[in-house]
Amino acid sequence: MILDVILKLLYIIKSNIFSIISLTIVSYITNYYIQYFTRPSKIPGPLPLPLFGNLFSIGADLVAAVDIFHRKYGDIYEFYMGNIRNVVICSPDLVEQVWGPSSIKNTKFIMRNAYSEGVDELGLGTKGIVLNRNLDSWNINRKFLIQSISAPQFLREAIKLSSKINDEIFEYWKFMGKEGIQVEVSEWMNALGTDIVVTTATGKRMSSTADLFNSLNIKGEKSKIYGIWKDGLKFTESIYVYNESMMFMMLFSPFLRRNFPGLKSINKKYLDNRDKIDNILEKMISERRKEIENTPLDQPLEQDILTILLVTNTERDLNKINVGKFDEPLKNDQLSSILREVFTGGLDTTSNTLSFVSYYIAQNRDVYLKMREEVLKVYGTLDNPNLTLESFEKLKYFEAVINESIRKFPTLSFMPRAAIEDVKLGEYVIKADTTVYTDLKILSNNPKYFKDPEKFNPDRFMTDKESIVKYSFIPFGNGARMCPGRVWAMAQMKTYLVKLVSTFDIELVNKNTDVEYKYATANRPINVNIYIKTREEN
């Protein structure tokens, strides 16, 4: 009897399969839009499609898409990636609500992003700093990193190393200039960032800049510099791919990533790259740990980031990093997560910012010459100025140039935060665990907050600094989630720029074109080609 009923049902389903599928699809779509149009807090934004959200409206360039959205929907709007709702804000009053409170206790937006299965797949949801949602783990890791890279002795050694690697690069550039070969700045900044960050982090030299010069194969000339860590350019690319994967994993639902043609292969590429980086980090940590164990106690150790972290809370701990009640040596997974933050945060953003700065100062000769004047004022010479941490405090115009470049084209256009409870934002109620993005590029290029925003004018951060609307410019974030590496990053950038303006005159190959970029979580300048010649040739 039961078997007969089952067989009849199967026959009905088989006979009406297309009708059933059609009815299911129609029911799903109807339910989707009923929920959409009856949602609380109807924030304006483009109409999403079931399953895909606004994926097709956004395409490959999120920066360009949200520019259109802002013009159409205003200073607060929403968009969907799959079924994931994202809110974007573009006005200082809204930014203050999200970023203003400076402590964990005072802010409802302490989380960097809403819960994301994709972020967990990358190993970032409960580890590291940037996307870590475990506040206890985040707080410990953040304190370890800040105290490791903000100490004056660390910064002084970092400046010496950065200065040395910049000198090596400029020797390559002098050779290229004599041969009449253009310099593509962005690829050099990527290599420079890799060498500085990896060498500072591990104490072992990486030679990406030498690898890059050798790859150009100019008259058979080869660099005589060799690093302990090999394949620097490949490592750089892996870090960039990892940074790309963060936004991809945050925005796309697991269903789309794992099943939609095109996205499925990208998802696999990012997860394979995650495993590759994890293996590299594990090797770095294991080798350095073994070296420390084989070093006599009375023999001093290098003060690179990895060594400082490895000896923390051991008998070799000289720095006595204070992170409250935590008094145990760091385990490998903690070390790996912190080291990964150093690489992902230190390589991409600083290198890209320097490429943007190089573009703008090559385009604005008057700015370039004012920077040179400040070098003379602070150091008294253009010939091998003595760079120190203390002297960098006096380079106010350099800092203004860096800030103006970030204002014009921030490396990170979108800074996410997520509330831990329902909160009113403007006239709308934002549900807990909704990601709210601050659009820094729209904000800092709005004529309501910056006069003549299209003009590259560092003086606005000098003489007109007081007129800048509060929370219209937050390049490193604000409050408890402020970038922990900002002091180190600024030291790297000033080192490169002082040496650049002291050594060379530069000129854009294509003077009248806007800077080209590729969006991949960060905005990456491409094809920043310059002519270069040493200052003495003028």
Across the chain, which has 538 residues, the per-10-residue mean pLDDT values are 59 63 79 89 94 84 89 95 90 92 74 88 87 86 82 88 94 92 94 90 86 88 76 81 88 86 92 93 90 87 85 72 68 88 85 96 96 97 94 97 96 89 92 93 94 94 83 84 85 97 94 85 90 78
For 77, the enclosing helix (H) or strand (E) is strand 76-81
CA atoms within 13 A on the CB side of 280: 20
CA dihedral 78, 81, 85, 90 (to 10 degrees): -30
Q: What is the DSSP string of 442-459?
A: HHHT-TTTSSSTTS--GG
CA-to-CA distance for 337 and 506, rounded, in angstroms?
39
CA end-to-end distance (rounded Å), the chain: 100
For 86, the enclosing helix (H) or strand (E) is strand 84-89
Domain 137-410+475-537 falls under CATH 2.60.40.10: no
Report the 10 Å Cβ neighbour count for 201: 23
Backbone φ/ψ region at 205: left (φ over 0), alpha (ψ -120 to 50), beta: beta
CA-to-CA distance for 184 and 508, rounded, in angstroms?
10
CA-to-CA distance for 207 and 234, rounded, in angstroms?
11
- pLDDT for position 125: 86
Query: DSSP H helical segments within 252-321, as ranges?
Result: 254-259, 263-293, 305-311
**What are the sequence ranges of the domains in the chain?**
2-115+125-133, 137-410+475-537
- pLDDT for position 2: 65
Nearest residue to 356 via CA among 497, 167, 534, 196: 497
CA-to-CA distance for 240 and 343, rounded, in angstroms?
10
Query: What is the token pair recorded at 386?
Result: 């003595």
Contacts of 256 (CB under 8 A, 6+ apart): 51, 52, 55, 81, 82, 263
- pLDDT for position 4: 61
Nearest residue to 495 via CA among 159, 192, 174, 161: 159
Query: What is the token pair recorded at 253?
Result: 């639902």
Query: What is the token pair recorded at 447?
Result: 């004529």
Query: How wide is the angle at C-alpha 493 spanned by C-alphas 60 and 397, nearest 5°?
Result: 110
Nearest residue to 331 via CA among 310, 302, 315: 310
Q: Is 483 known to sit in a ligand binding site? A: yes
Nearest residue to 159 via CA among 510, 433, 393, 326: 393
Q: What is the DSSP string of 346-409?
A: HHHHHHHHHHHHHHHHHH-HHHHHHHHHHHHHHHS-SSS----HHHHTT-HHHHHHHHHHHHHS
Q: What is the DSSP letter of 535?
A: G
Q: Please say whether the beta carbons of 517 and 408 come within 8 A.
A: no
